[in-house]
Amino acid sequence: MSSSTESAAVTADRTATPPGGESGLRRVLGVPSLVLFGLVYMVPLTVFTSYGLVTQATGGRVPLAYIVTLIAMVFTARSYGLMARAFPFAGSSYTYTQRAFGPGIGFLAGWALMLDYLFLPMLNYLVIGIYMGEAVPAVPAWVWIVASIALVTVLNVVGIVSVARTNALILAVQGVFIVVFVIMSMASITGAGSVDLLAPFAGTGDPGGFGPIMAGAAILCLSFLGFDSVSTLAEETRDPKRNVPKAIMIVTIGAGLIFILLSYVGHLVLPSHAFDNVDSAALDVMTTGGGAFLAAFFTAAYVAGCIGSALTSQASAARILFAMGRDRVLPSGFFGRVFERFGTPMLAILTVSVISLAAIFIDLGLLVEMVSFGALIAFSAVNLSVFKHYFLDEKQRSGSDVFHYLVVPIIGFLLTLWLWTSLSPRTFVVGLIWLAAGFVYLLILTRGFRRRTPMLDLTE
């Protein structure tokens, strides 16, 4: 989308005011902007966010774990596309699940999704602090975290079009780095003599077996959250019933192939999983593959990517809160407001910023696992929603409908359920506490289910 087209869309295209008096979101995004949003949200270099953790968990078989995750995500991405076609509105799995199963189940799906979306901006700020702390030891990591939160918040308050424009530059920087990384790594590998091209799939044997692969694949689900974020922008997309499903599938497959390639090359360069610091293991890979230059280039490109991901993840998190606020599941006067000057849910954006300050003290391993926990619950719910909405409620059961609305979503559900049960025990403890808190809040909201949970008004 050109800048002039975007400006015209911002000026002329405003959605009607929904009940309650708040102005609606503006339809300014097309497929290229959605794909760009999703790719930047996922961060092509996000493969290195949990690289050390997953390398140790899988015994050096990160590419194989990514293949398993990609297979599951393709089925789930199809389900998101189908539900976005039926309900092209903000709210993602919250909207889809409540329309398929009712407001109570929809609320719990939205609650799980909030765990995912509130923690992902925090994850970006944390890794910015980690890598900038390594690059500039004289400046404490928390300073980088706070500065990043402030910058991202201002950009998001200004509006979604400014986010889309910033994304283009950030993605270009990462693209250049990926090319340089692959070229320098291949030169390094070639100069080292004989190379086992199957080593990234065979691993070191410590640990062995398929169980560790599933555990690693479950963590890697956080890498694929970009296709989910695309669905949250349905109310800001032109022709969302066609464009959102298309963008979701493009983002999922494209990013998955990038992740597999980068992790494969990384393990060829450094087949060991003994790192100086497991949280910043990528620096060991870069130094081995291209020395100080590649390590510095990686830090710059990766931090830029994290800023871009923070921009988009904070935007998506704010729109989840906006959808639930407009629904009056959360206080509508606070979360359900869109400010006329910028056309953005400013108070919801500020809420995400305050929560993200927890990045100053939270553990990277736990944060990564919790993002995956919330994501897999949401993914499972959307797969089931396709089956419920199309196959059971709409009774679309003839010919290819059985494949699209029964076979595909059930396979997607079983795969995401398998990944979910592969997460660590501590993840379940924290995650189930979060879900229990959501259930208690739902009891309070409905006065012990004596009142109906409010549903999202889909009128534009």
pLDDT(300) > 50: yes
Of 321, 322, 280, nearest to 303 by C-alpha is: 280
Cross-strand pairs, 344: 339
Structure tokens at 159: 């509006």
Who wins on pLDDT, 422 or 206?
Answer: 422
283 within domain boundaries: yes
Overall residue count recorded for the chain in this entry:
460
Cβ-in-10-Å burial (0-12, 13-18, 19+) of 274 comes to exposed
Query: Using an 8 Å Cβ cutoff, are 18 and 460 in contact?
Result: yes
| 455 belongs to a structural domain | no
User: pLDDT band at 11, cuts 50/70/90?
Assistant: very low
Q: Is residue 148 predicted with pLDDT exceeding 60?
A: yes
| Domain extent at residue 264 | 3-445
pLDDT in tens, 98-122: 889 988 888 888 788 778 778 889 9
Whether residue 452 is contained in a domain is answered as no
Which residue in this structure is represented by tokens 């005011």? Answer: 17
DSSP 315: H
Q: Residue 355 falls within a domain, yes or no?
A: yes
- Residue 270 belongs to some domain of the structure: yes
| Per-residue pLDDT band at 159 (split at 50, 70, 90) | low
Q: Cα torsion for 399, 405, 409, 411, to the nearest 10°?
A: -20
Does some domain include residue 451? no
* pLDDT value of position 1: 35
What is the number of structural domains in the chain? 1
Determine the number of helices (DSSP H) and then strands (DSSP E) in the chain: 19, 0
Which residues, other chains included, contact 95 with Cβ-Cβ below 8 Å and sequence gap of 6+?
87, 89, 106, 323, 456
Q: Are 418 and 214 in contact (CB under 8 A)?
A: yes
**287 domain-assigned:** yes
Give 402's pLDDT tier (boundaries 50, 70, 90). very high
The CATH code of the domain that includes 420 is 1.20.1740.10
Is 25 or 152 the better-scoring residue by pLDDT? 152
Of the chain, the percentage scoring pLDDT greater than 90 comes to 35
Question: pLDDT exceeding 70 applies to what percent of the chain?
Answer: 89
Closest to 221 measured CA to CA, from 427, 435, 429 = 427
What is the pLDDT at residue 415?
Answer: 94
Per-residue pLDDT band for 6 (boundaries 50, 70, 90) equals very low
Task: Give the gyration radius of the chain's Cα atoms.
Answer: 21
Looking at beta carbons, which pairs linking 52-56 to residues 24 or more positions away fall under 8 Å? Answer: 52/273, 52/275, 52/277, 52/278, 52/279, 52/280, 52/281, 52/282, 53/219, 53/278, 53/279, 53/364, 53/365, 53/368, 54/216, 54/219, 54/220, 55/267, 55/273, 55/275, 55/281, 56/273, 56/278
Residue 246 lies in a domain: yes
pLDDT number for residue 455: 65
